[in-house]
Amino acid sequence: MAKDPDGIPASDSDPTELASRLRLTMVRLARMLRQQDESGLTPTLSAALATVNREGPLTLGELAAREQIAPPSITNTVGKLEALGLVVRLTDPKDKRICRVEATEAGRLQIESNRTRRDAWLAKRLVALDADDLARLVAAADVLEHLTVAPPEAEAP
């Protein structure tokens, strides 16, 4: 395989090919981690519960915006989570027309249980790596975290 001036395989230095590799790998890893979830919740329900737990209490509109879900869909999602006892709706004390959603203790325990199971599954695989691979993964994690918080450049139409 041809290498660039830095000795990196040419395909690895092409941003488009690297983006494709990273995307596919992250999608696969996310799927494998989701398979560790024994709650029976759909990915949409799990994501909404995690957002409410992390950022709540939230109005339905705020939750819909954060989850990028249409308001009617978020109403349905919250209804399902509420029926499972994972969230409660609270009336705003200052404006009785506003309803906020908050995770219940059962919801918080559900999130912690899933997080613990997923972390243990991944940690088991990380322990099997040699020191060099682990060091490269630590560096890669730093870069990936930076990608998720860096302001996006102007997007092309």
Domains of the chain: 39-148 (1.10.10.10)
Q: Please give the span between the terminal C-alpha atoms of the chain, in angstroms, as a whole number.
A: 34
Tell me what pLDDT residue 4 has: 55
Q: In what order do the strands lie in the sheet with 87-91?
A: 58-59, 99-103, 87-91
What is the C-alpha separation between 108 and 112, in angstroms, rounded?
6
Written as tens digits, the pLDDT of the chain (157 aa) is: 455 555 555 556 789 999 999 999 999 999 999 888 888 899 899 999 999 999 989 999 999 999 999 999 999 999 999 999 999 999 988 888 899 999 999 999 999 999 999 999 999 999 999 999 999 999 999 999 998 886 766 555 5
Q: Which of 102, 90, 113 is nearest to 55 (CA)?
A: 102
